[in-house]
Amino acid sequence: MRQPVKWRGALILACLIAPSPAYADKELIQLAYQPAKGCPDRKKFVELVQAITNKVEVANDGGASLRKFAIRVSHSGNLVNGELTIEDQAAQAVRRVSGASCDEVISALALATALAIDPDALGADPDATVSEAPPTAAPLAVPEPPKPPAPKPTISIDVSRRPPPRAEPRPPLFDLSVGARAGDNLAPFAKLDLFAELGSTYYAPLELHFGVAVGPAQHDGETRFSDLSTWAGLGYRLAELKRFSIWGETALELGRVSAQGRNISPAFNVDKAWAAVDVGLCGRLEGPGRLFLQVVGGGRAPLLLQRYVVLQNTGKLRELHQVGQLGYLVSLAVGVHFM
């Protein structure tokens, strides 16, 4: 007749535990018992162990030289999980049992505890007990606990202490980029700016960014424009691959624009405030180390639809430029992640 799986698993546990020095006499142990709600108490557990072997005594006070047995039982859904930890000076062994009821798990843990102290508690060699028993073999003296409903109890053996998982490296919180951008509604021609931008991914997938741009004087046949602007914006990560990511961005831009007529005598200057809302898509390609390449394309909607008008020496007004309602804005930059 083959022994039930749950008792055979407990017997295998005994083969993995070295016999205690108190092999013939009673062994005095320390016991830490933490049952789950509705499970048998410490007194009941000690009675179950002593019903299997009379070679164990539980100490009331701890001792440095005593082996320490720690029992912990918890609920996980419909299962009851039990854990037996045995500490013997520098060595430590952990045994785990799962079952459908507290009584079943506590009984299995009591058997494992008894066999760890007294390998002959069942009155036979553990190796012989695990193997096939002859039909005339006498039944075990230990009462078998009630049969649990499905799922069937399982016993997992952890013979080594697992190292703690490695923490994932934290991505850099800031990035700094420099580059050039061009837009068409600030001036009557495509105006080129040089810019620098600081971004932060502290609130990822959101990204905060702050920038400043300087537009050197540029001209066509009739007008000359220069500008200085700054902006603050917010981006959202839409997609991220291994080395490429796509962001949606929006920003509020403020600045100052200076316009001058070239064929007007005298050449009057007009300085006006500048405000616009920039919206676009950003593609970022990660390079070697912490470097990256960034391309942005989108639109710019001015909030101040002003005219640049000057008075000629003839006494007539002349319009240099009228700001359009919507224009394009594109940029190319290289940057570096840090911190």
pLDDT tens for 139-180 read 445 556 666 666 655 666 554 556 666 666 667 889 999 999
Least confident of 90-104, 145-159, 197-211, 233-247: 145-159
List pLDDT tens digits, range 48-75: 999 999 888 888 776 667 889 999 999 9
More confident residue, 49 or 77: 49
Least trusted range by pLDDT, from 13-27, 98-112, 289-303: 13-27
> Which is more confident, 26 or 296?
296
Lowest mean pLDDT among 110-114, 221-225, 276-280: 221-225
For the chain, which domains are there?
5-158 (3.30.160.100), 174-338 (2.40.160.20)
The pLDDT assigned to 333 comes to 96
Q: What is the pLDDT of residue 20?
A: 45
Note the pLDDT of residue 149: 67
The residue among 285 and 316 whose pLDDT is bigger is 285
Q: Name the least confident of 27-41, 183-197, 306-320.
A: 306-320
Maximum average pLDDT range among 152-166, 256-270, 316-330: 316-330
Question: Has residue 249 got a pLDDT over 80?
Answer: yes
Q: What is the pLDDT of residue 225?
A: 86
On the question of pLDDT at 298 being above 60, the answer is: yes
Q: Band the pLDDT of 193: cuts 50, 70, 90.
A: very high
Reduce the secondary structure of the chain to three states and give it as a string.
CCCCHHHHHHHHHHHHCCCCCCCCCCEEEEEEEECCCCCCCHHHHHHHHHHHCCCEEECCCCCCCCEEEEEEEEEECCEEEEEEEEEECCEEEEEEEEECCHHHHHHHHHHHHHHHHCCCCCCCCHHHHHCCCCCCCCCCCCCCCCCCCCCCCEEEEECCCCCCCCCCCCCCCEEEEEEEEEECCCCCCCEEEEEEEEEECCCCCEEEEEEEEEEEEEECCCEEEEEEEEEEEEEEEEEECCCEEEEEEEEEEEEEEEEEECCCCCCCEEEEEEEEEEEEEEEEEECCCCEEEEEEEEEEEECCCCEEEEECCCCCEEEEEECCCCEEEEEEEEEEEEC
Q: What is the pLDDT of residue 150?
A: 62
Tell whether the model's pLDDT for residue 244 goes beyond 90: yes
**Would the pLDDT of 138 be above 60?**
no
| Lowest-pLDDT choice from 27-41, 73-87, 140-154 | 140-154
Tell me, what's the pLDDT at 328? 92
So what's the pLDDT on residue 265? 66
Residue 315: pLDDT band (50, 70, 90) is confident
Please tell me the predicted confidence (pLDDT) of residue 129: 40
Is residue 251's pLDDT more than 90? yes
pLDDT at residue 11 in the model:
47
pLDDT one-digit tens code per residue, 199-228: 998 888 899 999 999 989 888 877 888 899
Res. 245: pLDDT tops 70: yes
Q: What is the pLDDT of residue 170?
A: 66
Residue 264 C-alpha from the chain's centroid: 64
pTM for the predicted model, two decimal places: 0.49
Higher pLDDT, 277 or 10: 277
The average pLDDT across 311-320 equals: 77
| Residues of the chain above pLDDT 90, percent | 39
